[in-house]
């Protein structure tokens, strides 16, 4: 089986300036990155111009596969439309291929019927914006009990109904495990986020972002198994490291830590 193609999400080293983050990816032999719009004191929030991001990516030979993310995308309001337009514009200007779409995750909008209608309303509004810009919308269901979009099947059904080629799914190994959904949808998957959980004491329902580390042999989420299935069923895209744990962010040698995770996964997948 072909080895996974890796990408690096800026959440892997969120305090690292964009230039250094791009260099980290390049030094690791990783050719694809995800930038974020939620890192205080860093691009995009610090006002870094998209032309600067594009120039740095070209300097290090990197493909910017996404901006992560338009939050609460399935709660469509005039404010959300403005946020979407700004991020889609930034993506186009910096050379990013896609915009990650994250659903409402606060316990609201979960009612059966209403949540499906809200999802279709948002996708219908986003479709012409994304198609005009040539940007892909990456819909990312979250496995948390309080999320308004937990099911990839529900997202896939909505995408099929809305139509167009501008939407794909994000398969997040952490959220897939939490949601307990068996189906993978490799043909509709545009990106995979990978992170592991080692803590033997935390229950699945209590797992949260701070538990998410770089994948290793103690992983409870079966990242290697999920990745193997996706590859075997035809997924050919990137597997992007997205750990949120403070212990990962505090690493004094992130390159060594990421390389060790890559080597483990290459042996295991």
* Whole-number Cα distances in Å, 115 to 111, 139, 150: 6, 15, 11
Give the list of residues 6+ apart from residue 126 with CB closer than 8 angstroms, or none: 73, 84, 101, 137, 166
CB 237 within 8 A of CB 192: yes
Q: What is the pLDDT of residues 174-231, one digit of tens each?
A: 999 999 999 999 999 999 999 999 999 999 999 999 999 999 999 999 999 999 999 9
| 127: pLDDT strictly greater than 80 | yes
User: Cα separation of 148 and 110, whole Å?
Assistant: 5
CA 41 to chain CA centroid, Å, is 21
Domains along the chain with CATH numbers: 5-268 (3.20.20.150)
Residue 2: which pLDDT band, with cuts at 50, 70 and 90? confident
CB 177 within 8 A of CB 143: yes
The model's pTM: 0.98
| 133: pLDDT strictly greater than 80 | yes
Quick one: pLDDT at residue 248? 98
């Amino acid at each position: 089986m072909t080895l996974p193609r890796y990408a690096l999400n800026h959440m892997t080293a969120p305090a690292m300036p964009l230039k250094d983050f791009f260099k980290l990816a390049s030094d690791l032999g990783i050719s694809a990155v995800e930038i974020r719009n939620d890192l205080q004191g860093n691009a995009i929030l610090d006002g870094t111009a998209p032309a600067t991001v594009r120039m740095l990516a070209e300097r290090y030979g990197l493909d910017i596969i996404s901006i992560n993310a338009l939050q609460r995308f399935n709660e469509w309001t005039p404010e959300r439309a403005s946020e979407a337009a700004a991020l889609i514009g930034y993506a186009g200007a910096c050379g990013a291929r896609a915009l990650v779409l994250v659903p409402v995750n606060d316990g609201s909008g979960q009612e059966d019927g209403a949540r499906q209608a809200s999802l279709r309303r948002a996708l219908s509004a986003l479709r012409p914006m994304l198609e005009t810009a040539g940007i892909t919308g990456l819909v990312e269901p979250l496995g948390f009990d309080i999320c308004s979009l937990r099911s990839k099947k529900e997202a896939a059904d909505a995408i099929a109904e809305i139509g167009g080629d501008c939407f794909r799914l994000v398969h997040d190994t952490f959220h897939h495990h939490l949601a307990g959904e068996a189906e993978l949808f490799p043909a509709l998957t545009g990106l995979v986020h990978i992170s592991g959980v080692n803590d033997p004491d935390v229950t699945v329902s209590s797992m949260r972002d701070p538990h998410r580390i770089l994948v290793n042999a103690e992983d409870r989420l079966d990242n290697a198994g999920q990745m193997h299935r996706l590859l075997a069923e035809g997924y050919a895209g990137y597997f992007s490291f997205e750990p949120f744990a403070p212990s990962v962010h505090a690493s004094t040698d992130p390159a060594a830590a990421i390389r060790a995770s890559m080597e483990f996964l290459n042996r295991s997948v």
